């Protein structure tokens, strides 16, 4: 058991890989971008060994390298490269010595949206689709076996008939603290999106970004104690989705579910969080996007999982988006994974969560001088 919760954002260019580890050793990974060290070309930024670091964070259960929960925010390649071959797919009872020697990670529970079952997903997501189909069929044919570690599946949002199947679906507005068969007293997940209407239009328009899983993850330091910190992740959801998240939460009295100590900037610090693209035609941020940002706590952080952000025309990452975030949290609390520790060999952004809230680890060596920006959640603009 660890002394504190931990959350890591890996340097994976314009992509996402986030790892959460609670103080009682619950492990959650959101999205995947695992690249070979051989992909680096002379003069390029060193590719961080994400797989090696994740392995070091996980525990072996009955000699099996196990991750409690894997969440695919949406089936785009920048969120699932490296899944096949690094994560075990198939009957967990057949996870064998060969899989152990290859350090294949067994996923206790898998979260996806209905979009994974479509035919228009990227090549890299097809291994996840096969595994999700296997688990869904098992749920339909043998629910008891489907509730076994390595077989568990949850579909976030509704199915093709716009319905929720009990025991299989979590929908917006639900709070989850049952992860991989374990009831957590230290962590809970509030589901914000995808919304039913966006799953329908997303399927029709082949817009997977609009169907991204949006969630607030809350951490407690003591079992069922006060919430100490909150992290909001939303894949590549654009400002239209965030407007719905804001308005529906306010209308239903769930404003506390909008509060954040860490926000992973949507779509790799794209301008799409603030307005439509291209930027030159849509330079004014939407009022609701700025209002959502006002739910940050004192000393909150925005994390941009992207390439180095330059004052150029790239989008993502987008320089003007960075400036808008900095207006809310300050330049020292806007963090870009591409330049953390080193621009030529970046390291993960790592936060710990204890009784005082969120702290960014400044040094790899644990020490008082190695931490900065401690955060204790407190009342914000809306008196939360």
Name the more confident of 377 and 177: 177
pLDDT at position 373, please? 53
Percentage, residues of the chain above pLDDT 70: 92
Tell me what the mean pLDDT of segment 167-191 comes to. 97
Q: Where are the alpha helices (DSSP H) in 185-331?
A: 196-205, 239-251, 266-269, 287-293, 319-329
In eight-state DSSP terms, residue 201 is H
CA-based radius of gyration for the chain: 20
- Residue 207 pLDDT class (50, 70, 90 cuts): confident
Confidence band (pLDDT; 50, 70, 90) for 161?
confident
- Token digits of residue 157: 């949002």
Taking each continuous run of H as one helix and of E as one strand, the counts in the chain are 9, 22
Average pLDDT of the segment spanning 23-35: 96
Q: Which structural domains are found in the chain, ordered by start?
A: 5-375 (3.60.15.10)
Q: What is the pLDDT of residue 71?
A: 98
Q: CA-CA distance, 304 to 318, in Å (whole number)?
A: 10
Residue 107: which of 31, 180, 57, 20 has the closest Cα?
180
Length of the chain: 384
Residue-wise pLDDT for 333-383, tens only, equals: 999 999 999 999 999 999 999 988 999 998 544 333 344 554 443 334 433
3-state secondary structure of 220: strand
Q: Is 116 left (phi over 0), alpha (psi -120 to 50) or beta?
A: alpha
Give the three-class secondary structure for 213.
coil
């Amino acid at each position: 058991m660890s002394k504190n919760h931990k959350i890591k954002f890996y340097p994976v260019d314009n992509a996402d890989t986030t790892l959460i580890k609670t103080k009682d050793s619950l492990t959650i990974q959101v999205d995947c971008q695992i690249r070979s060290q051989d992909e680096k070309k002379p003069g390029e930024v060193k590719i961080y060994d994400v797989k090696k670091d994740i392995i070091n964070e996980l525990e072996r259960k009955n000699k099996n390298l196990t991750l409690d929960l894997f969440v695919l925010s949406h089936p785009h390649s920048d969120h699932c490269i490296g899944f096949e071959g690094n994560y075990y797919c198939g009957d967990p009872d057949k996870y064998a010595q060969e899989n152990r020697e290859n350090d294949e990670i067994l996923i206790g529970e898998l979260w996806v949206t209905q979009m994974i079952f479509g035919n228009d997903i990227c090549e890299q997501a097809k291994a996840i689709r096969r595994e999700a189909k296997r688990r869904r069929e098992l749920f339909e044919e043998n629910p008891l076996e489907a509730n076994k570690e390595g077989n568990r599946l949850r579909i976030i949002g509704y199915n093709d008939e716009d319905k929720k199947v009990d025991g299989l679906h979590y929908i917006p507005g639900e709070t989850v603290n049952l992860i991989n068969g374990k009831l957590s007293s230290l962590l809970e997940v509030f589901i914000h999106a995808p919304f039913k209407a966006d799953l329908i239009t997303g399927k029709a328009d082949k817009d997977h970004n609009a169907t991204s899983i949006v969630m607030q993850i809350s951490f407690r330091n003591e079992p069922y104690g006060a919430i100490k910190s909150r992290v909001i992740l939303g894949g590549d959801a654009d400002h239209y989705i965030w407007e719905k998240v804001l308005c529906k939460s306010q209308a239903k009295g769930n404003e506390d579910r909008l509060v954040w100590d860490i926000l992973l900037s949507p779509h790799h610090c794209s301008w799409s969080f603030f307005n439509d693209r291209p930027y030159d035609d849509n330079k004014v941020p939407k009022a609701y996007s700025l209002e959502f940002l006002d739910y940050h706590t004192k000393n909150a952080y925005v994390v941009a999982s992207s390439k180095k952000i330059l004052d150029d025309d790239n989008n993502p990452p987008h320089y003007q988006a960075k400036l808008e975030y900095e207006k809310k949290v300050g330049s020292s609390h806007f963090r870009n994974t591409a330049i953390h520790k080193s621009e030529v060999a970046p390291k993960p952004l790592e936060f710990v969560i204890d009784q005082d809230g969120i702290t960014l680890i400044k040094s790899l060596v644990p020490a008082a001088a190695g931490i900065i920006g401690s955060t204790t959640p407190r009342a914000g603009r809306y008196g939360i």
